Structure 1
Amino acid sequence: MALTFGLMALFLVLGAPLAATFGLVVFLQMGSFGVSISGLSNIPYEEISSYPLVAIPLFMLTGELMNCSGMAAQLIALADLMLRRIRAAFGYITVAASAMMGAITGSSVATVAAVGGIVSPEMAKRGYPPAYTASLTSSAGLLGVLVPPSIPLILYGATVGVSISQLFTATMLPALLMAVLFLVVHAVLSRRLLKNGQETRIEGGAGPLERRPPSRILLNSLSAVLLPVVILGGIYGGIMTPTEAAAVGCLYAVAVSLARRLIDRRGFARSFRAAAITGSSILVIIAMTGIFNRAMVLNQVPQDIAVWLATYIDSPIAFLLTVNVVLLLVGTFMETNASILLMGPLLAPAAERFGIDPVHFGIIIATNLEIGLLTPPMAANLYVAARAAKVRLGDMLPYLGWFFAAALIGQAVITFVPFATLWFRYL
Structure 2
Amino acid sequence: MTVEIVSIGTELLMGQTVDTHAATLGQLFPEFGIVHRHRQTVGDNKGRILDALRLALSRSDWVITIGGLGPTEDDLTRECVAEALDLPLHLHPDVEAALRQRFAQRKAPWTDSQARQALFPQDAALLENLNGTAPGFAVRKGEQGIISLPGPRNEFVPMVEGPLREFLGGLRTGEVFVSRTLRVAGMGESLAEERIRDLLHLANPSVAPYAQPGEVQLRITARAESTEEARALIAPVESEVRRRLGEAVFGADSDTLEQTVLELLRRRGLTLAVAESCTGGGLAYRLTSVPGSSEVFLGGVVSYANEVKVGVLGVEADVLTREGAVSELVARQMAQGVRRLTGADIGVGITGIAGPGGGSPEKPVGLVYVGFSGPLEESVEELRLSGSRETIRLRSISAALDLIRRNVGGAA
TM-score of the alignment, normalized to the shorter chain, above 0.5: no
**Higher CA-based Rg:** 2
The structure that is strand-richer by fraction is 2
The structure that is helix-richer by fraction is 1
| TM-score for the superposition, normalised by structure 1 | 0.23
Work out which structure has the larger RCO, using CA pairs closer than 8 Å and 6 or more positions apart in sequence. 1
